[in-house]
Chain A
Amino acid sequence: MSLIAGHLEPYLVLSGLLFSIGAFGFLARRNAISMLMSVELMLNAVNLAAIAFGAFVPELAGEGASFALLVIAVAAAEATVGLAIVIAIYRNRKTPLVDEYDTMRQ
């Protein structure tokens, strides 16, 4: 067993890091595709946390894994719809950059 195998904390720290990277990417990247990828990163960070809780807390053994599976399914649907929207907007605006999508302002 490796150094970290027996502890919950390293998984949660990794999950937090991944979530922060995803959040930063979502707020900072201008490209719509990159933003979608950042969303996936955040979702997977949450998944990691859920799996880790499921593995280390006996009362949550079943719930953690099934919750993660549910999130994966939702994430797949989200990615599909999100990409479709991005492509639709791209066809209209001829740009992938979200800061030029300001029609809602009017």
Chain B
Amino acid sequence: MMPMAEGVQIGLLPGYAPLLLALPLAGFAFTAAVGRRLGKRAHLVPLVAIAAVWLIAMSLALPALTGGLGEGGASLPLFSWIASGDLRFDLGLHVDALTGALLLVVTTVGALVHLYSVGYMAHDDSYWRFFAYLNLFMFSMLLLVLADNLLVIFAAWELVGLSSYLLIGFWYTKRAPGLAAKKAFITNRVGDVGFALGLMGLVAVFGTLDIPTILAGIEGGALAGPAATVIALLVFCGAVGKSAQFPLHVWLPDAMEGPTPVSALIHAATMVNAGVYLVARMSPLFAASHEAMLVVAAIGIFTAIFAASIAFTQTDIKRVLAFSTLSQLGYMFAALGVGAWVPAIFHLITHGFFKGLLFLGSGSVIHAVEGEQEMPKMGGLAPKIPLTYATMLVGTVAIAGLPPLAGFWSKDEILGEAFKFGFAWVWLVGMIVAGMTAFYMFRLMGMTFWGKSRVPEGVHVHESPWTMTLPLVVLAVPSIAIGFLLGYPFADGLLVHGLEPVFHAASAALGHEHEAWTLFGIDGLLMLASVTVAAIGTAIGVRLFRSDHAELLGRVTARLAPLYRGSRGRWFFDDLNDLVFVRFGGRLASALWWFDRRVVDGAVNGVGALASGSGRGLRQIQTGRVQNYALGIAVGLIAMATIFLVTAR
């Protein structure tokens, strides 16, 4: 263990902490082995395992967030994973406030999604397989947030990718989920190449991937200048892939082909946050490079507005939420890029809860209308599924950033800090996105729940069973209250105190001072502005979609036809990828394949053919008859004698 800074003590985690990893792994192994024979009871073991994990995680996360584990958090070295000469990779657990924040979201949403899946997947033939995968995912995700070594994080990073792949393609007999799973996996590989190269760079500089050692080294100035920029950007590549930021965002909307609980757990509340977590965990690395921070902020805020603009026109309820997730993740990266570390993690927490709620709510809606995901075939559902409606409304108000729900607190802090740290452009775009977010979320609510019903005849709209509505109600509570609990008083709340030691070094490197919050000053004005923008977005959304304003809507879309088409077509990014990588890249690959087959393989095979061909030819003179050999000797003798006689003259 390394001291993170002078005088900071790192405590020892309680011995039961490894259970966080062991329980879901055991649940996965058990369910994978005998789950098929358990039929509709297959969920029991995974559910109990995750419930226990939740209790353990809370017992660690709450002290970690309130400072109960000490300033540097607490560690538990487990074992030496790889020891080769000077290179050592040790597996150890580390819990500090940042880990605690992630544990809070991952295990809470994880446990509720397990419960929800009992109802949602009840009619599925591969019931046991779903729960086995869910437990595998929980193991991987917990390993990712608990590990104190980047190589272990990388392994966990790939494991969550694998679980995500398996769960997106859960209904693998259908074509679209299989393709979406592959798309997610391959797109993530692109980012992971950068991540792996970044890790190699870190090994080259520090000779280890132990996070405390690396961070201490960066604080000591061991990595600076262009090298820091390159390594930080390479690591950021991995984050871009995993958190689906532009230009690797294309996999996340398609990942909605997976079952809705998976969308809620993996593709909204937990796994996609891994990139944010990674950047936050390595914050001193990014703080060491001004250019890298600028790239993070630019990509984040661009993804935020880009994805929000697409969410305007999507008609699939889950796709709207997927683009909303992209947009909110962009917010988090923008926050990280401007050095607003704590608000980024704050938004990660609040977003995890309300987006998990919204996704589970959308699953409940889809369940109610018997599998339909297209919002034009919904409408007027509010009185028929009141509980789902009420909880989703909570989630919508929360994400829209209207006070006093959770989203307001974190979004306001991001925008406020971006402005105060001198990133006016991030603030301005962020404000626009805040308005857009409110608009498209109320559009979703309007198209789904308000107005006249467009549900086809014969579909019996029904509220979901308690296993599905209970998680909605439970998630509605943090969606309302967690912002206030963690973020009040402004800039001085629980989370700020908890996370301050984690980000102290990075903030110091950027020269950011901790300032008091002033209601009657710049902070109050900024807050008023962001609330106003959110309220305007809400008002427009409600006005257009409250009841059937088809004729008004038609006029608006007709005026903005080019924008509408672009947004509807996701700004044609999939088509661009298809053109560049599938068509042009495919041609290039075919040409290279031809070169490989003809020239490279041809040369190798030619050498072999030459040897075997000449051997076959020379074999003919090996008759095995003594006299043929003797003749050869005689002829040779005569030839030599002749040469001797001729040249001797």
Contact = CB atoms under 8 A, between A and B. Distances in A.
B174 interface: no
B626 A105 contact: no
Given A27-B631, A35-B627, A104-B624, 10 more contacts: A27-B627, A27-B630, A27-B634, A99-B625, A101-B624, A102-B623, A103-B624, A105-B622, A105-B623, A105-B624
Interface string A72-106: 00000000000000000000000000110111111
B627 A102 contact: no
Contacts of B625: 98-99, 101-102
B61 to A, nearest CB: 78
A33 interface: no
Interface in B568-622: 622
Contact of B627 (A98, A104, A106): A98
B630 to A, nearest CB: 6
A104 B623 CA distance: 8
Contacts of A106: 624
27 contacts: A23-B634, A26-B627, A26-B630, A27-B627, A27-B630, A27-B631, A27-B634, A28-B627, A30-B627, A35-B627, A98-B625, A98-B626, A98-B627, A99-B625, A99-B627, A101-B624, A101-B625, A101-B626, A102-B623, A102-B624, A102-B625, A103-B624, A104-B624, A105-B622, A105-B623, A105-B624, A106-B624
Q: Indicate the member of A28, A99, A106 with the most B CB atoms within 10 Å.
A: A99
Nearest to A28: B627
Contacts of A26: 627, 630
Closest 6 A/B residue pairs (Cβ): A105-B624, A102-B624, A104-B624, A98-B626, A99-B625, A27-B631
Interface size class of A (residues with CB under 8 A): 10 to 19
A98 B626 CA distance: 7
A102 B625 CA distance: 5
Contacts of B627: 26-28, 30, 35, 98-99
Interface string B242-283: 000000000000000000000000000000000000000000
Nearest to A98: B626
Interface in A10-35: 23, 26-28, 30, 35
A103 B634 CA distance: 22
A30 to B, nearest CB: 8
Nearest to A99: B625
A103 B624 CA distance: 6
A52 B624 CA distance: 38
Contacts of A98: 625-627
Interface of B: 622-627, 630-631, 634
A86 to B, nearest CB: 11
Contacts of A105: 622-624
A26 B625 CA distance: 13
Contacts of B631: 27
A35 B625 CA distance: 13
Nearest to A29: B627
Contacts of B624: 101-106
Nearest to B637: A23
A103 B622 CA distance: 11
B626 to A, nearest CB: 5
Contacts of A99: 625, 627
Nearest to B638: A23
Contacts of A35: 627
A80 B623 CA distance: 27
A104 B634 CA distance: 20
A6 B625 CA distance: 45
A97 B580 CA distance: 76
A77 to B, nearest CB: 20
Nearest to A102: B624
A84 to B, nearest CB: 16
A52 B153 CA distance: 96
Contacts of B622: 105
A105 B630 CA distance: 15
Nearest to A106: B624
A98 B625 CA distance: 7
A23 B420 CA distance: 109
A17 to B, nearest CB: 16
Nearest to A104: B624
Contacts of A23: 634
Contacts of B630: 26-27
B155 to A, nearest CB: 56
A104 to B, nearest CB: 4
Q: Indicate the member of A26, A30, A106 with the most B CB atoms within 10 Å.
A: A26
A10 to B, nearest CB: 21
Contacts of A101: 624-626
A82 to B, nearest CB: 12
B83 to A, nearest CB: 54
Contacts of A27: 627, 630-631, 634
A30 B627 CA distance: 9
Interface string A19-60: 000010011101000010000000000000000000000000
A23 B636 CA distance: 13
Contacts of A30: 627
B120 to A, nearest CB: 73
B572 to A, nearest CB: 70
Contacts of A104: 624
B311 to A, nearest CB: 79
Nearest to B624: A105
A23 B625 CA distance: 16
A101 B629 CA distance: 13
A96 B634 CA distance: 23
A98 B630 CA distance: 12
B621 to A, nearest CB: 11
A98 B631 CA distance: 14
A19 to B, nearest CB: 11
A103 B625 CA distance: 9
A63 to B, nearest CB: 22
A77 B634 CA distance: 23
Nearest to B619: A105
Q: Indicate the member of A27, A30, A35, A103 with the most B CB atoms within 10 Å.
A: A27
Nearest to B635: A27
A11 to B, nearest CB: 20
Contacts of B623: 102, 105
A76 B624 CA distance: 27
B616 to A, nearest CB: 14
Contacts of A102: 623-625
Nearest to B629: A104
A50 B627 CA distance: 27
Q: Indicate the member of B622, B623, B625 with the most A CB atoms within 10 Å.
A: B625
A56 B624 CA distance: 44
Nearest to B627: A27
A27 B625 CA distance: 11
Nearest to B631: A27
A103 B626 CA distance: 11
